[in-house]
């Protein structure tokens, strides 16, 4: 399986990130791919590139409430199963406040196992942060999301053979 820039950009919406990942592939295994993704994200993607990655979440992960909070698709179940209309409305309102009134980029959270009320609490806790502090938090969340997306990319391209090394092969091919 050959991964292209469009595969990498689905993991992290920065075009610089995708270009650099495409340059340095193949990877020995998923761990190496994640290590490299971390190195590229923190040391090679610049500030406009970070904002580009954050903006991609407007297109990738939009809730049915039209809020722009992003989470990995497979993680939505927990949050949505616990969400009522009021909770979704609150999330949408606080997200609007976060982006339009405070930081200028979409609220990101890697929502693994979090309920909608836990996400709302997290959002409310962040909104008083200073700009540079929150940029660091958002960049960390993006890195967590990238890690999950990379794992998904590999598992989707792994034959269900039971061979633990298949994912390694899929990256090398």
Residues at the site binding a second copy, with contacts judged by CB under 8 A:
42, 46-51, 102-105, 130-132, 135-136, 139
Q: Is the CB of 31 or the CB of 96 nearer to a second copy?
A: 96
Query: Closest distance between a second copy and the C-beta of residue 15, in Å?
Result: 12
Query: Closest distance between a second copy and the C-beta of residue 127, in Å?
Result: 12
Non-local (6+) Cβ contacts of 31 within 8 A are: none
Task: Give yes or no: 2 in active site.
Answer: no
- Round to whole Å and give the CA distance between 160 and 147: 21
Which residue in the list 16, 57, 147, 168 is annotated as catalytic?
57
Residues assigned a catalytic role: 57
């Amino acid at each position: 399986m050959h991964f292209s820039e469009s595969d990498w950009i689905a993991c992290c919406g920065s075009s610089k990130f995708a270009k650099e990942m495409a340059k340095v592939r193949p990877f020995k295994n998923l761990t190496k791919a994640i290590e490299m993704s971390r190195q590229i994200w923190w040391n090679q993607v610049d500030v406009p590139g970070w904002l580009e990655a954050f903006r991609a979440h407007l297109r990738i992960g939009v809730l049915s409430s039209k809020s722009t909070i992003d989470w990995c698709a497979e993680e939505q179940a927990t949050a949505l199963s616990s969400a009522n209309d009021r909770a979704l409305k609150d999330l949408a309102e606080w997200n609007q406040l976060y982006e339009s009134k405070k930081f200028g980029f979409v609220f990101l959270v890697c929502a693994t196992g979090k309920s909608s009320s836990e996400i709302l609490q997290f959002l409310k806790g962040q909104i008083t942060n200073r700009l540079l502090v929150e940029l660091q938090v958002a960049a960390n969340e993006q890195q967590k999301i990238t890690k999950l997306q990379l794992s998904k990319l590999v598992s989707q391209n792994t034959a269900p053979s039971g061979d633990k090394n298949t994912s390694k092969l899929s990256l090398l091919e």
